[in-house]
């Protein structure tokens, strides 16, 4: 495997950031079972092939924020310091794809920044566990409250190099309570499966 590759327990490559001469410079991508690379902009396009008006993606993996750098037009970033807005993009591809898909919202929750590890907790990813727990206990909190809580939770990790800094990115500003699923029954079923 190339330097920079992350592995899962079964030794299959899931995410990597390495020199990619076909695309020029560094690139982050997922590797599928057939060893094909899927880059962030391609993954985002797959998601928008359906009819949903809002798509939420949770990436609970090492270096997850690196993969989303290619997602088109994720203008808002929610992290513990607050909400920031990206004003412009340097990639023509991002602008073209964003123009074609402007009517759909995309929300991406990432477990870790580009060079950070994502750890497991109670049989699943730590982000997934704490996300489910937080949404169950605080169903009316905002996205920024959620990110601040997770950052506080991960700050208690005794191994400094295992601390994660999750964030949320979205195409449009998130108002009101942070939701993963649009219906209460869908959310309750997901929470029950994660916490039991």
**Which segments in the chain show pLDDT lower than 50?**
1-18, 21, 23, 89-102
Hey, what are 41's tokens?
């902009």
Which residue, 42, 39, 12, is CA-closest to 25? Answer: 39
Is 30 among the domain residues?
no
Is 13 among the domain residues?
no
Q: pLDDT tens digit string along 31-46?
A: 777 888 888 888 888 7
**What's the structural domain count of the chain?**
1
Is 88 among the domain residues?
yes
d(CA 168, CA 78): 5
Instruction: Tell me which residue range forms the domain holding 46.
Output: 40-195
State pTM to two decimals: 0.72
Contacts of 29 (CB under 8 A, 6+ apart): 15, 16, 20, 37, 38, 39, 40, 67
Q: pLDDT tens digit string along 55-88?
A: 888 999 888 888 888 787 788 999 888 888 876 5
């Amino acid at each position: 495997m190339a330097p920079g590759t992350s592995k899962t327990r079964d030794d299959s490559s899931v995410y990597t950031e390495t020199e990619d001469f076909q695309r020029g410079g560094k690139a982050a991508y997922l590797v599928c079972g057939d060893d094909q690379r899927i880059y962030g902009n391609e993954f985002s396009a797959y998601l928008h092939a359906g009819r949903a008006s809002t798509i939420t993606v949770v990436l609970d993996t090492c270096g997850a924020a690196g993969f989303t750098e290619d997602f088109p037009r994720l203008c808002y970033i929610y992290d513990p310091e607050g909400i920031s807005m990206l004003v412009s993009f340097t990639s023509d591809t991002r602008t073209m794809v964003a123009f074609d898909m402007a009517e759909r919202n995309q929300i991406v929750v990432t477990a870790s920044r580009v060079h950070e590890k994502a750890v497991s907790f109670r049989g699943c990813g730590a982000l997934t566990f704490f996300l489910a727990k937080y949404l169950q206990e605080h169903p009316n909190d905002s996205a920024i409250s959620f990110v601040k809580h997770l950052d506080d939770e991960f700050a208690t990790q005794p191994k400094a190099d295992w601390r994660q800094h999750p964030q949320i990115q979205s195409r449009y500003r998130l108002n009101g309570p942070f939701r993963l699923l649009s219906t209460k029954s869908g959310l309750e079923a997901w929470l029950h499966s994660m916490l039991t």
